[in-house]
Amino acid sequence: MKQKPSIVATPARGAASSNRRGIDGRNGDDASGDTFRLLIVVDASDASERVLQYIGRVLGRRDRVEFHLAFVAPRMPAQFLESGGSELPEREQEIESDLRAQQDRWMAIHDTEPRRVLRSARAALVRAGAAAGRIHSCSSSPLDARTAADEVLVLARDQKCGTVVVGHRAHTWFRGLGQGHLAEQLVRSASGYAVWIVD
């Protein structure tokens, strides 16, 4: 059975600035006005796989379509963001050094997931017929304090994508934060973007 995306278009609204670059080194500054640019939010879920299959089937072989794969990194746990400090300057330096070492260890563990997921998503689109040169990748930073929906919108803006595609049941970690599904949050906050939700 073919799956069809739900499409929601909302009026324009600005997003916060970002200095993120794509994993492939691009920052979206060379956008062509007549190219349809999709930001496809992916994770390692079956829902993301269905999104890629659908988009690949519908748009994979079309000209003037660019696919921007986006991975929203889970936020670094609060205990790694700041220490309780110390009144003694020597102890404060030691505490800060330990905190940086813990942050580095956490980042090293979680740094491979975005690359793995994005590489797999890219391969799925290529198998569906999309030209490799039209597929780009980007990722949010786990150090950003924005909501996941805001991160997606910043990535969409940075990559000059007017349409965001997400699986309805993807990104289950986001629901664990008590914020509902990422797709639902995007529909509520994506002013100025079309949101396609593939169920």
Specify the pLDDT at position 104.
Answer: 76
pLDDT of residue 124: 92
Which residues contact residue 152 at a Cβ distance below 8 angstroms, ignoring those fewer than 6 apart? 39, 41, 70, 72, 140, 164, 166, 182, 186
Q: Which residue has the higher pLDDT, 193 or 85?
A: 193
The confidence score (pLDDT) of residue 96 equals 79
d(CA 172, CA 140): 17
What digits encode the pLDDT tens for the residues 148-192?
Answer: 889 999 999 999 999 999 987 655 544 444 456 778 888 888 888
Partners of residue 36 on adjacent β-strands: 65
**pTM of the predicted protein model:** 0.71
Write down all domains in the chain, each with its CATH number in brackets.
6-76+113-198 (3.40.50.620)
Average pLDDT for 127-142: 89
| 95 vs 13, higher pLDDT | 95
Give the number of other CB atoms < 10 A from CB of residue 78.
Answer: 7
Assigned token pair, 173: 């970690």
The 10s digit of each residue's pLDDT in 57-67 is: 899 889 899 99
